[in-house]
Amino acid sequence: MSNRPRGKMILADGTRFEGFLTGAAARPDWKGPIWGEVVFNTSMTGYQEVITDPSYAGQVVVMTYPQIGNYGVTADDSEKPATAARALVVHDLQEFFSPGPGRVSLESFMMEQDLPGLTGIDTRAVTKHVRDQGAVIAAIGHAGSKDEELLALARSKKLDRSERLVESVSGTLNAVHSGNSGRAAVIDLGVKKSIVDHVRRLGLTTQVFDTTFRADEILEGDFDFVVVSNGPGDPADIPDVVEQVNRLIGRIPMLGICLGHQIIALALGARTYKLKFGHHGANQPVVDQRSGQVFITSQNHNYAVSDDIAELTGVTVTYTNANDGTLEGFVDEHRKLECVQFHPEASPGPHDCRIIFDRFHERVQGWSRAH
């Protein structure tokens, strides 16, 4: 890594990490610095899906697995055409990668996508620090940048409504995908391509709506159900979306995923709160409260739904996190709702929960026959 320019990352609490600039930050014309909220991801693979997952908008992603980039990047694996993460921090960015059709190096992809990063960082130390101290803003710059200036930048920033994270990543997928056995609407709050693909797999014509959607156009669209998607940030930052979802409750079946799960919970009158350091990775254990079975899931979120939702709204809790007991899902047969905090399509990650799409579709058909 001697040919890479040196760089550093300084956290808002003053903690300092040195390494080498990579991706867009390694270009001679990169000005820097950049800032973002530090999150650590425990996935061993799937780095391309991670940095193109819109749920990572505004975040500096630290990969805990030490070697990243060893199988390159291919266009088909991106969740969105552009990267969403603000920076990628790794211990060892691999220059050599497995060959294959259309594959390029992760670093060249980062340069093409204008995504800066750092390599040579003690990512386990960063992870331990975030686990101990909680989520924190960081600033990344050249080695020659003054520490006090990077520290001041990190301390002056926070992820709030002014960032408009959801709006920045919504509406970049094709609006309509044809099928032959019904219709589904997807509310795109930063939806992953893989989620749309799994809805289409059910044979449904799938129409994607951005954050400007209105409940009336959904209700008038002859849809069998609605999927409220994943996305970045605090669900309380998008009250207009919560209001429109509230108008849909009880009038059309809905499946909420990740941020969508939180939005539906707020629309029902439940509460959300910020976790100390969130859940980010493809190895999160979730307990099915009905069967006791444990699923390994892919997750990416900093906020959670309060576990008093059943008491407040009358829903039935379906899943909890095996590590910390936080709420991971609920169902409401009367209002035709099913919500999960994890990503059932799991890209990247295990395939334990892909059945949720099929099961929800079966629920919708049952609800339709009952009426």
Give the model's pLDDT for residue 83: 94
| Cα distance between the two ends of the chain | 65
Single-letter amino acid code for the residue at 316 = T
Annotated domain spans of the chain:
6-159, 165-370
Q: What residue ranges in 143-271 does DSSP mark as E strands? A: 176-177, 183-187, 205-209, 225-228, 254-257
pTM of the model: 0.94
- SS3 track for 128-150: HHHHHHCCEEEEEEECCCCHHHH
| Annotated catalytic residue, options 167, 343, 353, 361 | 343
Q: Is the peptide bond preceding residue 33 cis, with omega within 30 degrees of 0?
A: yes
Q: Provide φ and ψ at 141, rounded to 5°.
A: -155, 180
pLDDT < 70: residue spans in the chain: 1-2, 161-162, 370-371
Identify the CATH class of 6-159: alpha beta
Residue tagged active-site, from 258, 261, 301, 338: 258
User: Is 339 one of the annotated active-site residues of the chain?
Assistant: no
SS3 180: coil
Active site residue 343: yes
Q: 165-370: what fold?
A: Rossmann fold (3.40.50)
Q: Exposed, middle or buried, 259 (CB in 10 Å: 0-12/13-18/19+)?
A: buried
Give bridge partners of residue 255 from the DSSP assignment.
Answer: 227, 338
The one catalytic residue among 301, 345, 353, 361:
345
The values of phi and psi at residue 22, to 5°, are -145, 175
Check if 6-159 and 165-370 are the same fold: no
pLDDT at 162: 66
- Give tens-digit pLDDT for 285-331: 999 999 999 999 999 999 999 999 999 999 999 999 999 999 999 99
Q: 173-194: b or e for each residue (b if 16 or more CB lie within 10 Å)? A: beeebebeebebbbbbbbbbbb
Please report the pLDDT score of residue 173 as a whole number: 76
Mark whether 353 is an active-site residue. no
Residue pair 84/190 in contact (Cβ under 8 Å)? The answer is yes
CA-closest candidate to residue 94, choices 75, 116, 120, 113: 120
* Burial tier of 146 (Cβ tally within 10 Å: 0-12, 13-18, 19+): exposed
